[in-house]
């Protein structure tokens, strides 16, 4: 007994020590120290009045924008895709207010909420960062926002979709410094329910989530809407853990309810595993499978694409019919930058728009003094972004609501055809 | 202790008895309620049990690695999960090549044998190198030192593989002869899982024979009993320790391929969770005890698969399968409360 206790405590202490090894960073917003502004408002006065001060960009210095996306591990396709979109934006618009734009990439991860906080701390430690594009996953946005908000850094997410992030009645609420160019999952969940009700005409469904805000809320919206829109029956709302590999027990219990439709808006590698193992469980052979934007990526295709194509599995996600500016201008540049034939995930155009919103905001609120130094007041920048109206973006005409939802609300459903996600249904046609 | 403080003993006894009764009542109530609901048919329970045995067999093979090393060195080799991963990841490239050239489905038996051999050899070599570089120089160091080294080695192996092979999830090619189900005593079992169970049984029997019936096996047991005396009896202790790591590695490599065949996916971080689970299984069965590792692995697998639904669904717990680790680790804690040395572990006093 003693021996076991000792080993266990040693292990616990070691793990704690590992966990504590996160880069500590203190925020230090720039303060205006300069005098002698010549044009328009006096930067020194504006910056002194701004609660979070100004970002100071000296003549010839770069404007630094940080991205906090998932760029390693199983979900890296999602974050890299958004980074490619930002990079296309930077290629189209290399200069902001006469300064060269520079992107600093942080890894905010996806599966572990703490990684979002770590990335945020690394970002606020750098006072030259103007604004943040991130995070990829809703789970990591939750702990990142308090850190960023305390330092006055605005974050625009290209792919967070959990409803709670823009719902002030929840603990996850992102607050004043949060905005997103992705849609709210209230929209996606309703669209999937509509697709199941009207297009597939199924009457019973089951869901699986992984405990993340994204998956849990999306399946809940779907379940509520499925019942409300066509009186469908939910036979089970099951859950797995991130890192689980044996999905057969959970699938077996779901099969007992014989659902016609199974919706599992999770991530890689759990999503592909559910798809692969679904065929090994008796009772699910005829169930229609559907996932969402979290697995609509190259990682899924690599892991289970062949079988998903064979089964005709569906994937909901943002409607990517953005028009010719997207197909003829954006995509060729994306291919060139990424080296990929097809987008590796759905949220590249949303990253592109997030970059341009930040660039517009900097040009609108930045003040240049006589020395050629650009002063960007953080509060004013945030107010510009949150007050965005009729922004002509690649993903549509964007207007931010009072809680930070700025995304276009068109949702599509795709299937894999010859190894490529091909849209088969979209809310645009409804 | 027992004689000197009888009044304290009675209190502890009382608590333990109350705990025992609470457990029995809780488990019975949950089970009865779940079965009364009748959502799952008998065939569903049977299938859940088979999934559990298959998963448990992989845990058992890995747990043997922990237990063997603990037996001779009294250290927990936390890098064992990564030894398992290294074999499966390396063999992936062979499997992928066989898959693409069509050799896999033309000569499935040969292909699988080669893949098994590659994985087992890789894991064995990693385990031997690990022992030589990371553990042997610390043989006489305090016990904390090799433990920390093992955690470091675990991170080192995982990240080396990440650097060498990339961090993408790799999919093992599907083997046609392993698709579908096979009838075992009238029970349709997935062929992959049947392979896992059969291979695990063969490997465990082989290990049992090796430890109990061969000269080297006897030497291993002697070293495990007392290193210094064994060395006085002319046993090359270093050689025996290397052999122990090699056997642990071979078993881990085999477990890696079985795991890959069942789940189709391998990646650089795949060793972590199964490693922790197998360590748990070894402790559950009684660490240092070979039969205990097998029993612990199977128990843990079955608990994870059957336990959550059986025990929790009756109480209207939503999504019980998400709580599989809670159920499994609660059982671990309870086993250790009542049997601190695991199910089959000898008590400290017997040493």
Q: Per residue in B112-131, pLDDT tens? A: 899 999 999 999 999 999 99
Burial class (CB in 10 A: 0-12, 13-18, 19+), B298: buried
Mean pLDDT of chain A: 87
**Beta carbons of A256 and B44 less than 8 Å apart:** yes
Of A11, A76, A239, the CB nearest to B319: A239
Q: Tokens 């607050």 map to which residue?
A: A175
Which chain A positions have a beta carbon within 8 Å of B309's beta carbon?
249, 253
Question: With contact defined as beta carbons under 8 Å apart, do B176 and B105 qualify?
Answer: yes
pLDDT at residue A6, as a whole number = 55
Return the residue of A nearest to B317 by Cα.
A238
Q: Report DSSP letters for B270-292, one per residue.
A: TTHHHHHHHHHHHHHH-TT-HHH
Residues of B in contact with A276 (CB under 8 A): 263-265
pLDDT for res B7 = 57
Chain B contact for A344 (CB, 8 A cutoff):
no
Q: Are A403 and A168 in contact (CB under 8 A)?
A: yes
> What are the helix (H) ranges across A152-212?
185-194
DSSP label of B175: P
Contact B44 A304 (CB under 8 A): no
- Sign of dihedral through CA atoms A228, A229, A235, A236? negative
**Whole-number Å distance between alpha carbons of B83 and B260:** 14
Residue A24: per-residue pLDDT: 36
- pTM, entire model: 0.79
Contacts of B318 in chain A (CB under 8 A): 237, 239
Structure token pair of residue A258: 């014989």
Closest CA to A162 of A322, A272, A66, A294: A294
Chain B residues whose beta carbon lies within 8 Å of the beta carbon of residue A282? 43, 47
8 Å CB contact of B265 and A249: no
> Is the CB of A211 less than 8 angstroms away from the CB of B169?
no
Mean pLDDT, to the nearest integer, of B253-266?
87
pLDDT at B350: 41
- Other Cβ atoms less than 10 A from the Cβ of A189: the count is 27
Gap from A268 CA to chain B (nearest CA, Å): 9
Q: What is the Cβ-side half-sphere exposure of residue A50, based on CA atoms within 13 angstroms?
A: 28
Asked if the model's pLDDT at residue B253 lies above 80, the reply is yes
> In this prediction, does ipTM exceed 0.85?
no
A7 falls in which pLDDT band (50, 70, 90)?
low
3-state secondary structure (DSSP) of residue A316? strand
> Is B41's CB within 8 Å of A256's CB?
yes
Listed in order, strand segments (DSSP E) in B132-246 are 170-171, 181-184, 187-190
Shortest Cα distance, chain A CAs vs residue B233, angstroms: 29
Residue found under tokens 């979070």: A52
d(CA A142, CA A172): 5
Alpha carbon distance B221, B223 (integer Å):
5
Q: Which two structure tokens, joined as six digits, stand for B30?
A: 């949950």
Which of B263, B306, B318 has the CB atom closest to A245's CB atom? B263
A330 contacts A352 by C-beta, under 8 angstroms: yes
Task: State the count of interchain CB pairs (< 8 A) between A and B.
Answer: 114
The residue with greater pLDDT, B345 or B269, is: B269
Which chain B residues are within 8 Å of A7, Cβ to Cβ? 76, 147
pLDDT digits (tens, 9 = 90+) for B149-180: 999 999 999 889 888 887 777 888 878 888 87
Query: CA–CA separation, B115 vs B90, rounded Å?
Result: 9
Report which of A128, A95, A120, A103 is spatially closest to residue A375, judged by C-alpha positions. A128
Q: Cβ(A234)–Cβ(A178) under 8 Å?
A: no
Phi/psi-derived region of residue B292, left when phi > 0, alpha when psi is between -120 and 50, beta in every other case: alpha
Nearest Cα neighbor of A243 from B269, B183, B90, B71 is B269
Residue B209 CA to its chain's centroid (Å): 19
Contact assignment for A237 to B325 by CB distance below 8 Å = no
Q: How far is B99 from chain A (nearest CA, A)?
A: 14
pLDDT of the residue at A376: 94
Distance from CA of A238 to the nearest CA of B (A): 4
pLDDT tens-digit readout, B28-72: 888 888 887 777 777 888 888 888 888 898 899 889 888 888 888
Q: Which residue has the higher pLDDT, A155 or B232?
A: A155
């Amino acid at each position: 007994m003693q021996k076991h206790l000792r080993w266990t405590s040693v292990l616990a202490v070691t793990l704690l020590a590992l966990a504590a090894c996160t880069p500590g960073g203190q925020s230090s917003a720039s303060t205006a120290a300069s005098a002698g502004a010549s044009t328009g408002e006096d930067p020194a006065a504006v910056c002194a009045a701004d609660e979070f001060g100004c970002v100071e960009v000296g003549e010839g210095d770069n404007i630094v924008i940080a991205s906090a996306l998932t760029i390693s591990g199983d979900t890296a396709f999602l974050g890299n895709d958004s980074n490619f979109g930002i990079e296309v934006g930077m290629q189209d618009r290399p200069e902001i207010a006469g300064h060269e734009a520079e992107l600093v990439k942080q890894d905010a991860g996806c599966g572990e909420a703490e990684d979002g906080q770590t990335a945020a701390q690394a970002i606020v430690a750098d006072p030259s960062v103007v604004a943040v594009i991130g995070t990829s996953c809703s789970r990591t946005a939750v702990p990142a926002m308090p850190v960023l908000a305390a330092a006055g850094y605005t974050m625009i997410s290209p792919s967070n979709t959990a409803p709670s992030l823009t719902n002030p009645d929840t603990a996850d609420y992102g607050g004043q410094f949060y905005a997103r160019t992705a849609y709210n999952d209230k929209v996606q969940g309703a669209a999937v329910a509509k697709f199941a009700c009207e297009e597939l005409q199924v009457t019973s469904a089951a869901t699986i989530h992984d405990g993340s805000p994204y998956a849990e809320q999306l399946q809940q919206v779907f379940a509520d809407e499925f019942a409300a829109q066509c009186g469908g029956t939910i036979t089970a709302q099951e859950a797995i853990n991130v890192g689980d590999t044996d999905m057969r027990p959970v699938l077996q219990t779901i099969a007992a309810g014989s659902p016609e439709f199974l919706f599992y808006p999770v991530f890689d590698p759990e999503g592909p595993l559910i798809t692969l193992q679904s065929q090994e469980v008796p009772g699910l052979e005829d169930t229609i499978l559907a996932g969402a934007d979290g697995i609509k990526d190259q990682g899924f295709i690599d892991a289970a694409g062949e079988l998903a194509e064979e089964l005709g599995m569906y994937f909901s996600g943002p409607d990517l019919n953005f028009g010719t500016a997207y197909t003829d201008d954006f995509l060729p540049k994306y291919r060139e930058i990424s080296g990929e034939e097809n987008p590796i995930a759905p949220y590249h155009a949303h990253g592109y728009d997030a970059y341009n919103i930040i660039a517009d905001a900097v040009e609108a609120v930045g003040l240049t003094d006589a020395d050629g130094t650009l002063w960007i007041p953080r509060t004013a920048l945030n107010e510009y972004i949150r007050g965005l109206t009729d922004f002509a973006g690649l993903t549509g005409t964007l207007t931010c609501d009072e809680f930070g939802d700025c995304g276009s609300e068109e949702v599509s459903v795709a299937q894999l055809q010859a190894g490529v996600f091909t849209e088969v249904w979209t809310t645009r046609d409804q | 202790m027992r004689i000197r403080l009888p009044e304290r003993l009675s209190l502890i006894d009382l608590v333990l008895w109350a705990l025992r009764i609470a457990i029995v009542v809780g488990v019975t109530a949950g089970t009865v309620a779940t079965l009364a609901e009748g959502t799952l048919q008998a065939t569903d329970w049977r299938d859940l049990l088979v999934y559990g045995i298959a998963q448990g067999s992989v845990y058992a093979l890995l747990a043997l690695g922990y237990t063997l090393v603990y037996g001779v060195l009294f250290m927990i080799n936390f890098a064992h999960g990564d030894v398992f991963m290294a074999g499966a990841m390396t063999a992936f490239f062979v499997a992928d090549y066989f898959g693409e050239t069509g050799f896999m489905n033309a000569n499935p038996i040969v292909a699988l044998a080669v893949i098994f051999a590659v994985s087992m050899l890789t894991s064995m070599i990693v385990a031997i190198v690990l022992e030589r570089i990371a553990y042997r120089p610390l043989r006489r160091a305090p016990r904390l030192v090799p433990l920390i080294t093992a955690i470091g080695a675990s991170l080192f192996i995982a990240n080396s593989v990440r650097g060498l092979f990339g961090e993408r999830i790799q999919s093992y090619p599907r083997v046609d002869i392993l698709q579908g189900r096979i009838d075992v005593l009238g029970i349709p079992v997935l062929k992959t899982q049947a392979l896992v169970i059969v291979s695990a049984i063969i490997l465990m029997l082989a290990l049992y024979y090796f430890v109990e019936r061969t000269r080297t096996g006897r030497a291993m047991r002697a070293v495990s009993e007392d290193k210094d005396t064994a060395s006085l009896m002319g046993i090359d202790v270093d050689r025996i320790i290397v052999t122990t790591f090699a056997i642990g590695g071979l078993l881990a490599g085999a477990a890696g391929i079985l795991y890959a065949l069942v789940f189709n996916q391998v990646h650089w971080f795949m060793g972590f969770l199964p490693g922790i689970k197998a360590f748990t299984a070894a402790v559950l069965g009684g660490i240092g005890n070979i039969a205990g590792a097998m029993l612990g692995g199977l128990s843990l697998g079955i608990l994870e698969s059957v336990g959550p639904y059986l025990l929790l669904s009756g109480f209207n717990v939503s999504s019980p399968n998400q709580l599989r680790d809670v159920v499994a680790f609660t059982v671990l804690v309870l086993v250790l409360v009542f049997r601190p040395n695991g199910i089959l572990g000898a008590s400290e006093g017997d040493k």
